[in-house]
Amino acid sequence: MNIRTENLSKTYKRKNSSPVFALRNVSVEIESGQKTAIVGPSGSGKSTLIQILGLMDKPTSGKVFIDGKDCFLSDDNFMCRMRKENIGFVFQFHYLLADFTVFENILIPVWDRKNEYLKKAETILKEIGILERKNHFPNELSGGEQQRAALARALINSPRILFADEPTGNLDRVTGNEIENLLFNISDQNSMTLILVTHNEELALKSDRILKMEDGGIK
Ligand SMILES: Nc1ncnc2c1ncn2[C@@H]1O[C@H](COP(=O)(O)OP(=O)(O)OP(=O)(O)O)[C@@H](O)[C@H]1O
Ligand SMILES: [Mg+2]
């Protein structure tokens, strides 16, 4: 799936203080299957951009088109469906639910039809290398295993677009690189569109494209 933005802006207004212009007129096109690395200094708008592209937040102005469809013109049902059917998201912090096992956490995005996904969940866990941890609770996992589980959860719906916002920011370099490479290779093998915020220069160089952000814009 391809994504296009038109003059995307996001302003955070706060009481008794000046507004923050987190995104300023970003117009960008990301082709289907393209691997894009977003880089830039802290506060430059990387998370704000991918949260809007992933339909998790709304812009102050501007448009996002996914496969030509004007997402924010559509109703919330459309956005929910788009997220559920086509989008996967991995965050810096895993956000696994503490009272659910790894296996259950992975099934949460498809909970209403979870019985159809049991086999798939096993296959993904195996591919990601944590099948033997499937019955562990999140606090019974290492940091790297937690992020692997979060990646598995993002993949359960076979997303056409995978977003990852510094998915290994909390991990040591070696573990982080392993997981980012895994994420990159899985999205590559499945022809997913990948949009990855990363500080991993090697991986950024391996991607099809690097978007450099600075002060809310693309440099
Ligand atoms: N909810 C909010 N309210 C007010 N300002 C915000 C809010 N969220 C982010 N900002 C501001 O918007 C700007 C962009 O933030 P964003 O999180 O997109 O940066 P980033 O490039 O992801 O940074 P980092 O590398 O540190 O994660 C920052 O100046 C930040 O302080
Ligand atoms: Mg960020």
**In this structure, what token pair is assigned to residue 218?**
């693309």
Count of domains for the chain: 1
Is 195 part of any domain?
A: yes
Is 197 part of any domain?
A: yes
Crossing angle of helices 143-155 and 118-128, in 10° steps, is 140
Query: What is the percentage of the chain residues whose pLDDT exceeds 70?
Result: 100
b (16+ CB within 10 A) / e for 36-60: bbbbbeeebbbbbbbbbbbbeeebe
**Which CATH number does the domain housing residue 212 bear?**
3.40.50.300
Nearest CA to ligand 1 atom 16: 45
- Please state, in angstroms and rounded to a whole number, the distance separating the CA atoms of residues 9 and 164: 21
Is 15 part of any domain?
A: no
Structural domain harbouring 99: 34-60+74-218
With beta carbons less than 8 A apart as the criterion, state whether 84 and 109 touch. Answer: yes
* CB 171 near ligand 1, within 6 Å: no
pTM, full prediction = 0.94
Is 22 part of any domain?
A: no
Is 52 part of any domain?
A: yes
Which residues, chain by chain, have CB under 5 Å from ion ligand 2? 47
Is 42 part of any domain?
A: yes
The pLDDT value given to residue 144 = 94
Convert the pLDDT of each residue in 26-54 to its tens digit.
999 999 999 999 999 999 999 999 999 99
The preferred substitution site among 9, 14, 17, 20 for testing ligand 1, maximizing ligand atoms within 8 Å of CB, is 20
- Within 13 Å and on the Cβ side, how many CA atoms surround 211? 24
Convert the pLDDT of each residue in 151-195 to its tens digit.
999 999 999 999 999 998 788 888 998 999 999 999 999 999 999
Residue 210: pLDDT above 80?
A: yes
Is 8 part of any domain?
A: no
42 Cα–ligand 1 center, Å:
8
Q: Is 165 helix (H, G, I), strand (E, B) or coil?
A: strand
